[in-house]
Structure 1
Amino acid sequence: MNSEDFDVLAHCAAWARDESPVVLATVVKTWGSSPRPEGAMLCIRGDGRVVGSVSGGCIEDDLIARFKRSESRPVRPEIVEYGVTADEARRFGLPCGGTIRLVLEPVSSESKIAALFEAVARGELIARTLDLRTGASSLRRASAAEAVTLVGNVLTTIHGPRYRMLVIGAGQLSRYFCEIARGLDYQITVCDPRDDYADDWQVAGSRLSREMPDDLVLQMRLDARCAVVALTHDPKLDDLALMEALRTPAFYVGALGSRRNNAMRRERLREFDLTEWQIARLRGPAGIYIGSKTPAEIAVSILAEVTAAKNGVDLADAMRVPAAKARLDDPSHFTAACSIAASAHL
């Protein structure tokens, strides 16, 4: 679930609480190219005010025009499709003749949107089921592997953070890093047993732990939807945590520091009986080269690499695509850029 969809739930709950007529549109199926994924939401108030998006184009305009007219609002959940024909695809701005199927739901107390929003705000991952025949819904805890489904007359949508982020260190860089990561919808845990850093930690949307990082790694039971980033520059805190993290399926394990410092770190990790394959998983220096100098820019560079890893993008290949700058088309320039990135993260 991304920040836009969280905002949709917040507005939907507030508008319904004010007893305004509200319709929630949810993408449940797409064919061909679609600008919005399944599960994307749009909330429409009776006066035409909207938040969210289901297509990024004319479908929103059509829905707004429709629901401004009270006689056109659904009285119970219904399914609609846009882009079934080539003419409709052109009319609604759908690329490549794409088709979008939506569920339109008039929001009521039975929708449980307020309870859903409160659970998601607490960082919980929630499955919401909607009976299209009655409009009644129910909430339960979900697993990260679940997805949007429409089976018969029952729609199930998943809401809340699907990915977890463990940040080791509560310094200045970590503040910028966590503020951006929050916008990327990670469930963030910051670990720092040092009072001088932890006492002043105040970043909304993050949980602070004062335990030793390696102990916390074991407690969190990291899975393939987890990322670990060590930002302390202190081997006593970073190394043992990285050792444990590299044994897990975490999709990203990275550490701040120069190439020299990370080479020394890899040598230390070899003393912990890690395999060469496990050590090779360490992203160090963490981040991609963007000429970063300030803590905020370094945070962006690291999170760009984390995002690429999450999305299965090989950055070396991505930097050599035709649309990239000519200097980066040459692998030798890419290697040189990585060397510069190392010095930037000292």
Structure 2
Amino acid sequence: MDNIDLEVAAQWLSAGLRCELVTVLKTWGSSPRPPGSMLALCEDGRVIGSVSGGCIEDDLMERARREGLSRAQPAIVTYGMTAGEAYRFGLPCGGTIALAMEPLSAHSRIGELLQRVQAGELLARHLDLRTGDVTLGPALPGQSLQVSDAALVTLHGPRWRLLIIGAGQLSRFVAQIAQGMDYAVTLCDPREKYRNAWRVPGVELATGMPDDVVRAMRLDARSAVMALTHDPKLDDMVLMEALRSDAFYVGAIGSRLNNQRRRERLAEHFGLTAGQLDKLHGPIGLYIGSKTPPEIAISILAELTAVKNAVALPRAMRIAEAKADAGLTPGGETGALAGGEKPV
């Protein structure tokens, strides 16, 4: 669940309303939402967040309106055990979802959780499923949801961040889609003529030089950077700083030949090591035949998501390898190619 959603739950509690936090514990077969997905449910039937494609939410809202929320302790509720129930709730054949239903109160420590997350902490929230007791403690960046018969441990922290360099058309589509993926997006472009015509609501606009912006943002393991200007003077500046940071993803637009020249410049003129250059994704994106800016944005964010989720991509999905296998020379590409590649 987004921390913004938890803020809504905290507002319900402050208003004296009963509410519950619902968490997907486990799924069997196909299911619309993965373990760890959350929603907050108010006694008046309102919900924020999601645990399914909508039908389970509808049932939870109807039950809340009809029966109210009266649980005093956490409970486990399962949907989809029978074929009829799976059909009713829109679950695929054999799909089953187990949910933790946690009544919220002042003892749930939601307010403290939000304050610490807003201060930049990455936290593990430990819920005792038998007593409802909650403890908060530091979490590791790679830590994931933990479920047992006795406890549920969920992870909460600062939003994933994306820094985009270059206020172009492609950047607009990348920013819009990334916001839908719950990234806090910052757009940096010191060129006034570009940024004056660039508007995406909800995106922070930085006008400083890219290397200064990277240092000011203090990129961490929940940060990603994309250099999308096609201007080496700007792209190289951000890459020399981003590749030295803890950012989990750093990518740059350009053809295979331009990316090879970029790597040589970064090593020769900026002193980046082979290990730091190995972090650079370029040509950026996945090889999906994308040609238009929206398609290229999808290919870029698909690669970002794979890296974020530690998914090893096959050779046929990586642009440089796929084009080499197809016999295309680095300088022979024509047209608007996948992953942001352009003719040299």
- Give the TM-score normalised by structure 1: 0.71
The answer on whether the counterparts of 1:191 and 1:213 sit within 8 Å (CA) in structure 2 is no
The answer on whether the counterparts of 2:214 and 2:241 sit within 8 Å (CA) in structure 1 is no
Residue 104 of structure 1 and its aligned partner are, at CA, apart by: 0.8
Question: Which residue of structure 1 lines up, in the alignment, with residue 134 of structure 2?
Answer: 137
For structure 2, the 5+ residue unaligned runs are: none
Question: Which residue of structure 1 lines up, in the alignment, with residue 6 of structure 2?
Answer: 9
Question: Which residue of structure 1 lines up, in the alignment, with residue 336 of structure 2?
Answer: 340
Aligned match of 1:303 in 301, 324, 329? 301
Structure 2 vs 1, CA of residues 87 and 271 (structure 1 numbering), >3 Å: closer, same or farther? Answer: same
Tell me the secondary structure at the aligned position of residue 51 of structure 1. Answer: strand
Q: Do residues 99 (structure 1) and 96 (structure 2) align?
A: yes
Tell me the secondary structure at the aligned position of residue 19 of structure 1. Answer: coil
**1: distance between equivalents of 2:141 and 2:341?**
37
**1: distance between equivalents of 2:248 and 2:108?**
35
The answer on whether the counterparts of 1:7 and 1:52 sit within 8 Å (CA) in structure 2 is no
The answer on whether the counterparts of 2:334 and 2:342 sit within 8 Å (CA) in structure 1 is no
Aligned amino acid, residue 128 of structure 1:
R
For structure 1, the 5+ residue unaligned runs are: 320-327
Structure 2 vs 1, CA of residues 82 and 314 (structure 1 numbering), >3 Å: closer, same or farther? Answer: same
**2: distance between equivalents of 1:47 and 1:213?**
49
Tell me the secondary structure at the aligned position of residue 271 of structure 1. Answer: helix
The answer on whether the counterparts of 2:117 and 2:156 sit within 8 Å (CA) in structure 1 is yes
**2: distance between equivalents of 1:10 and 1:345?**
47
The answer on whether the counterparts of 1:259 and 1:339 sit within 8 Å (CA) in structure 2 is no
The answer on whether the counterparts of 1:39 and 1:148 sit within 8 Å (CA) in structure 2 is yes
Cα deviations across residues 13-66 of structure 1 (Å, max 9, x unaligned)? 222222222222111222222211111112222222222221224333332333
Q: Do residues 26 (structure 1) and 23 (structure 2) align?
A: yes
The answer on whether the counterparts of 1:190 and 1:206 sit within 8 Å (CA) in structure 2 is yes
Aligned amino acid, residue 98 of structure 1:
G
Q: Do residues 284 (structure 1) and 247 (structure 2) align?
A: no
Tell me the secondary structure at the aligned position of residue 73 of structure 1. Answer: coil
The answer on whether the counterparts of 1:214 and 1:242 sit within 8 Å (CA) in structure 2 is no
The answer on whether the counterparts of 1:213 and 1:238 sit within 8 Å (CA) in structure 2 is no
Tell me the secondary structure at the aligned position of residue 265 of structure 1. Answer: helix
Structure 2 vs 1, CA of residues 69 and 136 (structure 1 numbering), >3 Å: closer, same or farther? Answer: farther
Percent identical: 49
The answer on whether the counterparts of 2:211 and 2:238 sit within 8 Å (CA) in structure 1 is yes
**1: distance between equivalents of 2:58 and 2:216?**
50
**2: distance between equivalents of 1:343 and 1:212?**
22
The answer on whether the counterparts of 2:20 and 2:42 sit within 8 Å (CA) in structure 1 is yes
Aligned amino acid, residue 72 of structure 2:
V
Residue 78 of structure 1 and its aligned partner are, at CA, apart by: 1.5
Tell me the secondary structure at the aligned position of residue 261 of structure 2. Answer: helix
Aligned amino acid, residue 184 of structure 1:
M
Structure 2 vs 1, CA of residues 122 and 168 (structure 1 numbering), >3 Å: closer, same or farther? Answer: farther
Aligned match of 1:150 in 147, 151, 163? 147
**2: distance between equivalents of 1:332 and 1:238?**
28
**2: distance between equivalents of 1:345 and 1:122?**
45
Question: Which residue of structure 1 lines up, in the alignment, with residue 86 of structure 2?
Answer: 89
- Give the TM-score normalised by structure 2: 0.71
Aligned amino acid, residue 90 of structure 2:
G
Tell me the secondary structure at the aligned position of residue 127 of structure 2. Answer: strand
Instruction: Count how many residue pairs are aligned between Structure 1 and Structure 2.
Output: 329
Aligned amino acid, residue 89 of structure 1:
A
Structure 2 vs 1, CA of residues 216 and 176 (structure 1 numbering), >3 Å: closer, same or farther? Answer: same
Structure 2 vs 1, CA of residues 81 and 125 (structure 1 numbering), >3 Å: closer, same or farther? Answer: same
Residue 340 of structure 1 and its aligned partner are, at CA, apart by: 2.6
Aligned amino acid, residue 302 of structure 1:
I
Cα deviations across residues 198-227 of structure 1 (Å, max 9, x unaligned)? x9899756595957729957995765x553
Structure 2 vs 1, CA of residues 173 and 65 (structure 1 numbering), >3 Å: closer, same or farther? Answer: closer
Cα deviations across residues 74-131 of structure 1 (Å, max 9, x unaligned)? 1222122223345543443332423322111222222233443455456643322223
The answer on whether the counterparts of 1:230 and 1:255 sit within 8 Å (CA) in structure 2 is yes
Q: Do residues 256 (structure 1) and 253 (structure 2) align?
A: yes
Q: Do residues 125 (structure 1) and 138 (structure 2) align?
A: no
Query: Which residues of 2 match residues 50-129 of structure 1 at below 5 A?
Result: 50-70=47-67, 73-120=70-117, 124-129=121-126
Tell me the secondary structure at the aligned position of residue 281 of structure 2. Answer: coil
Tell me the secondary structure at the aligned position of residue 8 of structure 2. Answer: helix
**2: distance between equivalents of 1:345 and 1:121?**
44
Structure 2 vs 1, CA of residues 345 and 84 (structure 1 numbering), >3 Å: closer, same or farther? Answer: farther
